[in-house]
Structure 1
Amino acid sequence: MKTEFLWGVSQSGFQFEMGDRFNRNLDTRSDWWYWARDPVNLKKELVSGDLPEEGINNYELYPLDHSLAKELGLNAYSLNLEWSRIFPCPTYGVEVDYELDGNGLIKRVKITRETLRKLDGIADKNEVHHYTRVLTNLKKLGFKVALTLTHYTHPIWLHDPIESRDTNLQNERNGWVSQKSVLEFAKFAAYLAYKFGHLVDIWATFNEPMVMVELGYLAPYSGFPPGVVNPQSAKQAIINIINAHARAYDAIREFEKEAPIGIIANNVGTSYPKDPNDPEDIKAAQMTDFFHSGLMLQALTKGDLNIEFDMETTIKVPHLERLDWIGITYYSREVVAHSEPKFPEIPITGFKGVPGYGYSCPPNELSKDGYPVSDIGWEVYPEGIYNSIKAASEYGKPVYIMENGIADSKDVLRPHFIASHVAYIERALESGFDVRGYFHWALTDNYEWAMGFRMRFGLYSVDMITKERIPRKESVGVYREIVGNNGVTERIRREYLGRWGL
C-alpha cells in the first residue's frame, strides 16, 4: 500500500450513539426514531422491535471506541453527525436566496455569514459542543477524520416517515421528494463546515443515497422508511439528492477551501449477468449498476443527468459537476437476469435478482457458486471489490472503500473476509487504480436498521447490558496485523487466502 494509505473504521450516528443507562442522550427528533417503534411496522414485522436507545452508547463511550481504534493502529475514522441532533427544530425560518436553472434545478444557494449566525442561534449548542469534543478527540489521537453529512437519517421536521407512508408522500414533510430539502441540506452543510471544518480532513455529503430511495420508495417490504411504492416520487427524490449534493458541495467549499468533498455510493460495478453469454442479461447487469450508482456518478462527474432514467436521454447540467472523490461500500455482489422494467416510469429497472447469489442467499450456507454466506445471507465474494474499484475509477476520481464488513457473530468468516478483500484492493493498486483508503464496517456491533441488533458486524462484540466491548480476537488480530504491515502479510496469505488463489 502507499505510505499515506488510510486505514480506518466507519460508523454512523443513529446506529451507534444511543444506549446510555439513564436515556439522557436520545435522538428523538429523527425519522428513524419514529419508524423503528411505529405500531404498524411492528405488527407487519417490517422492523425488529429492537430500539436504538438500547444500543451501544457510543455517545458517552466514544473515547473508549477511539482508543480501541488507535490500538488497532488505524490512522482514519469515518462518522456522521446527526442532523436531527444539531437542528432538532426546523431551519426553514432562516431564509436564503437561490437561483433555478432552465430545467428547474437549484443552480445556486446564497449562504452568508449572517445566514450562519442565524443558524447558530437555533442550533442545539449542547449537541454542537458534544460533536466538537468527539472530533477533537479523534484529531488529538492523530486520526484523519472523514465526516459524512447524513447517513440515512433526517430530522422529523424534514421527513415524517409515518405521514409519508400513510399519505403516499402527499404530505408536506416528505423528505427528498420536496425540492425545499435541497435548500435545507445546503444550509446544514454550510453550518457544519463553519463549525467543524477545522476538524475535518475528508467530507462526504451522503452515505448510500440510493439505498434510501430504492428501499424507501420502491420496496415497502424492506423495512426502510417511508415504505411506499411510488416510482414517480423516487425519480424526483433521486434528482433532488443529486442536486442537494452539488449545492452542499458549494456550501462546504464556501467555508472550507481545501478538504476534498465526495459522496459514498453503494453497488458500484457489482452486478453480474446470470448468463454472461445472454445479451439481455448483460444489459440487465448494466442497468442494475446504472440505477444503483451510475446515474448519480455520471451527473456529478460529467454534468450529464439522465433525466428519463433510460441510460440514454441526458441533459447537460454543468452546475451538478461537483465531486472530488468517490466512496464505495462493498459487501457482496449482485447476480441479475433480464426482466421487464419493474416500474415502467423507471426504464432502467429491467432487471431481477437471482436467488442463491450475492445478497439473496440462505444465511450461513453456501451460495450456488459454493461461496460461504454470512449471518445476514450475503455471499462472500471478495473478487467483487476489485471490480467495484475498477468501475468507480472510470469516473476519473480517487476511490475510498468507505464500508466493507460482514455479519458474523461467531467470527468464523470475518478473518478470511478482511484478508481476501484487502488482498484484492492490493491487486487493484498494482493495476494502477487510485485507491486511497479502506474503512472497515465496523469497529463494534451496532443497530442494523430494521434488523435491530440481530446482525453483528463488529470487530468487537458488545454486551448490550453492560456495554462492554469484547474483541473478536481472530479478526482483531488479522486487521491489526494488516494495518501494522500496511498490507497483507505472508502469514495471513498462507493461513487465510488459500481458497481465493491470492
Structure 2
Amino acid sequence: MALKTRSQGTGSSDPYDSKFLKGVAISVWQNSCDDQLSNWSRYAYSRWPFTHFGLVGTTKGKYKIGNSCNFWERYREDIQLAHDVGSNTFRFSFEWGRIEPTHGVIDPAAIKRYHEMLDAMEELGIEPNATLHHFTHPIWFEDKGGFEKEENIEFFVEYSRIIFREFGKRIKLWATFNEPTCYTFLAYIGAMAPPGYIGNMITAGRVLHHMLKAHTAAYHAMKAMEGGSGAQIGLVHHHITFKSRGDNILNYPVKWVCGWMEYWWGWDVVDHWMLTGEFVWKVPVVGTWIKEKDPDGKPPCDWWGINYYSRVVLNWLFQTTGFQGEVMTDMYYPIYPEGMYNAIKRSSKYGIPMYITETGIADSKDDRRSVMIESYYKAVLQALADGYDVRGFYYWTLVDNFEWAVGYTMRFGLYRWEADGSADRVLREGSKALVKLFKTLPDNLEKLKAVAIQSSKKGWSDLGLSGYA
C-alpha cells in the first residue's frame, strides 16, 4: 500500500524526504523552569485550591520545581547526550516567557541562548525541530486572558514572527502548538494545568477554537516572511483514546464519560477540523456550543505530529486500569503498541508527512522500558512497511524532568536524574534498546522502509537488526 502525500500548505517540498529523523523530545520549561516568567511557573507555586487537588508549590512529590534538570544552563551537555544515543534530530520548545517576559520587550540573553543551543546541534549534525507553544506562555499573556479571548491571537502571531525572523534560517521543522486538546482539557476541565478550572467545558471549547485559529494565522504569517516558503510548519496532536474496562450496566456511566473525554481531548474535534476546516464543539445537555467553518476550508499544515503513549482504560469505579495481560506503566495507562499503529493509520488521511513527535514510558524501576521501546518502534516500522508516510521518531524524553502536575514522580528519561542530587544523567539499562535501534538501523528513509518490509515478512524476529549487526 503506497500512499501518496499532498500538502495542505503552500510550502516547498519536504526537505527531509530522504531522511528518517530519530531523536529525543524535550520541553525547555519542564527541563529548566523560568523563575516565574510563565503561566505554569506561577500556577505550580500558587495557593489556588484547585491546582490538581491542592498539591501546591511542589505539585506532586516533595521537591519544588527549582531549575529541574537545568537544560537552560547545561544544554550543550544534554545535546551531546542526545547525540550519544544516536539522535540525528532534537525536538525542543521556544519559551515565550523567556523570550518576551514583558509585552513588547525581547530579552536578548534568551535569544542568544537559543542561538547557542542551535550552534550545539549544528556542530553535531543534529536537525532541530522547534515548537512555539508547549503548554506555557508569559504571565502577561495569561493576565490578558490568554487564548480565552480571540483578540489575543495576534499576540501569539507576533511572537511567531519574532521567533521566525530570528531563527527561520536555522530551523526547517516547526510546530505551532503542542497538544492543544490536552492543554485545554487539563487547564479548563481537569484542573491540572493553569488557569486550573474544573468542568468549564464551554471556555475549554472557546480556547481550543482560538488556538487552532492561531495555528492558521501563525502559519500564514511565518510563510509570508523571508525564508518562509522553505519552512515546514505543522501541528502536534495528542493521540489518546478512552475505553471502559467492562460492558455491563455498571459501566454505562464510564462509557458515557469515555465518549466525552475522547471527543474533547482525543480525536473527534481536531479530526473534523483538519478534514473540513469546520470547528464544532459540543457540551453535555447544552449540545453544539460552537460551530464555525473557515471560509478558506481545510487548515494549512505541512506535517502532522503524533504524540502517542497509550490508551486510558477505566473500570466501573472510574479507576485507571488495563485489560488482562497488559503491562501497566507508572502513569495511568498500559503499554499498548497497537494504538501507535492505529494513530498513524488514522492520521494518514490528512495526506501529509507524519512524525512521531513524542512517545515514551514512565518506568521508575526500569523493568518495562525496553519492552515499550521495542514494541512501539516495531509498530512504526510496520507502518512504514505498509506504506504510511512516517518521517521520524522522537522519544520522550532525554533526562527525567518535571512532568507537569505530577512533578518529579514520573521517570520518562533515557537518563536518570534525581531532584535530590542522588543521580545525574545516568543512562538507564532499558534505554539501551533505543540506542541500539537508533545506531543500527539506517537513517535513509527508503533503506529503512526496505528493512521494515523484510522484517515484517520474517515476523519481526529481530526488528531488522540482524542485517546491520
- 2:340 matches 1:330: no
SS of match in other structure, 1:263: strand
CA distance in 1, matches of 2:233, 2:377: 24
Q: Letter of the 2:138 partner, please give it.
A: P
CA distance in 2, matches of 1:496, 1:37: 45
Deviation at 1:474, TM superposition (A): 3.2
Give 5+ residue unaligned stretches, structure 2.
Answer: 1-16, 442-447, 465-469
Q: Please give the TM-score of this superposition, normalised by the length of structure 2.
A: 0.81
Deviation at 1:308, TM superposition (A): 5.4
Select between 309-318 and 123-132 the one with higher mean Cα deviation: 309-318
Give the direction of change, closer, same or farther, for the CA distance of 1:440–1:176 in structure 2 (3 Å limit). same
Over aligned residues, Cα RMSD in angstroms? 3.2
1:233 maps to 203
Give the direction of change, closer, same or farther, for the CA distance of 1:216–1:470 in structure 2 (3 Å limit). same
Deviation at 1:304, TM superposition (A): 2.5
2:29 maps to 14
- Whether the 8 Å CA contact 1:146–1:200 is kept in 2: the answer is yes
2:6 maps to none
1:414 maps to 369
CA distance in 1, matches of 2:461, 2:86: 22
CA distance in 2, matches of 1:418, 1:317: 43
CA distance in 1, matches of 2:88, 2:463: 24
Deviations 1:227-278 (A, max 9, x none): 333222112111101110000101111222212111110125x455767999
2:128 maps to 145
2:434 maps to 479
Aligned residue among 386, 394, 400 for 1:439:
394
1:119 maps to none
CA distance in 2, matches of 1:8, 1:421: 14
Q: Letter of the 2:29 partner, please give it.
A: F
Aligned residue among 417, 420, 429 for 1:462:
417
SS of match in other structure, 1:40: coil
CA distance in 2, matches of 1:203, 1:66: 19
- Whether the 8 Å CA contact 2:22–2:87 is kept in 1: the answer is yes
Aligned residue among 15, 19, 35 for 2:43:
35
Give the direction of change, closer, same or farther, for the CA distance of 1:308–1:229 in structure 2 (3 Å limit). closer
SS of match in other structure, 1:127: helix
Aligned residue among 174, 180, 186 for 1:209:
180
Give the direction of change, closer, same or farther, for the CA distance of 1:250–1:27 in structure 2 (3 Å limit). farther
Deviation at 1:179, TM superposition (A): 1.2
Q: Letter of the 1:179 partner, please give it.
A: E
Percent identity of equivalent pairs: 30
CA distance in 2, matches of 1:76, 1:496: 21
Deviations 1:324-348 (A, max 9, x none): 111011111134xxxxxxxxxxxxx
1:164 maps to none
Q: Letter of the 1:31 partner, please give it.
A: N
CA distance in 1, matches of 2:295, 2:122: 38
CA distance in 1, matches of 2:312, 2:402: 24
- Whether the 8 Å CA contact 1:145–1:200 is kept in 2: the answer is yes
2:54 maps to 44
Give the direction of change, closer, same or farther, for the CA distance of 1:408–1:45 in structure 2 (3 Å limit). same
1:157 maps to 140
SS of match in other structure, 1:317: coil
- Whether the 8 Å CA contact 1:78–1:147 is kept in 2: the answer is yes
Deviation at 1:3, TM superposition (A): 5.9
- Whether the 8 Å CA contact 1:159–1:175 is kept in 2: the answer is yes
Give the direction of change, closer, same or farther, for the CA distance of 1:463–1:305 in structure 2 (3 Å limit). closer
Q: Letter of the 1:6 partner, please give it.
A: L
Aligned residue among 136, 143, 157 for 2:119:
136
Deviations 1:293-339 (A, max 9, x none): 3322432453223265779966353166211111011111134xxxx
Give the direction of change, closer, same or farther, for the CA distance of 1:472–1:438 in structure 2 (3 Å limit). same
- 2:320 matches 1:360: yes
SS of match in other structure, 1:38: coil
- Whether the 8 Å CA contact 1:416–1:496 is kept in 2: the answer is no
CA distance in 1, matches of 2:41, 2:133: 15
1:41-440 to 2 correspondence within 5 Å? 41=49, 44-45=54-55, 47-48=59-60, 50-91=63-104, 122-160=105-143, 173-220=144-191, 222=192, 224-255=194-225, 256-267=228-239, 270-271=241-242, 288-291=261-264, 292-306=266-280, 315-318=293-296, 321-335=299-313, 353-354=314-315, 360-361=320-321, 367-440=322-395
- Whether the 8 Å CA contact 1:330–1:404 is kept in 2: the answer is yes
Deviation at 1:496, TM superposition (A): 9.9
- Whether the 8 Å CA contact 1:83–1:150 is kept in 2: the answer is yes
Deviations 1:145-176 (A, max 9, x none): 1100010011100114xxxxxxxxxxxx3221
Q: Please give the TM-score of this superposition, normalised by the length of structure 1.
A: 0.76
Deviation at 1:465, TM superposition (A): 4.7
Higher relative contact order (CA 8 A, sep 6+): 2
Give 5+ residue unaligned stretches, structure 1.
Answer: 19-25, 92-121, 161-172, 336-352, 362-366, 498-502
2:4 maps to none
CA distance in 1, matches of 2:259, 2:387: 24
- Whether the 8 Å CA contact 1:406–1:414 is kept in 2: the answer is yes
Q: Letter of the 1:381 partner, please give it.
A: Y
SS of match in other structure, 1:375: coil
CA distance in 2, matches of 1:377, 1:464: 22
SS of match in other structure, 2:409: coil
Deviation at 1:218, TM superposition (A): 1.0
Deviation at 1:70, TM superposition (A): 0.9
- Whether the 8 Å CA contact 1:190–1:251 is kept in 2: the answer is yes
SS of match in other structure, 1:439: strand
Q: Letter of the 1:10 partner, please give it.
A: A
Give the direction of change, closer, same or farther, for the CA distance of 1:454–1:55 in structure 2 (3 Å limit). same
SS of match in other structure, 2:208: helix
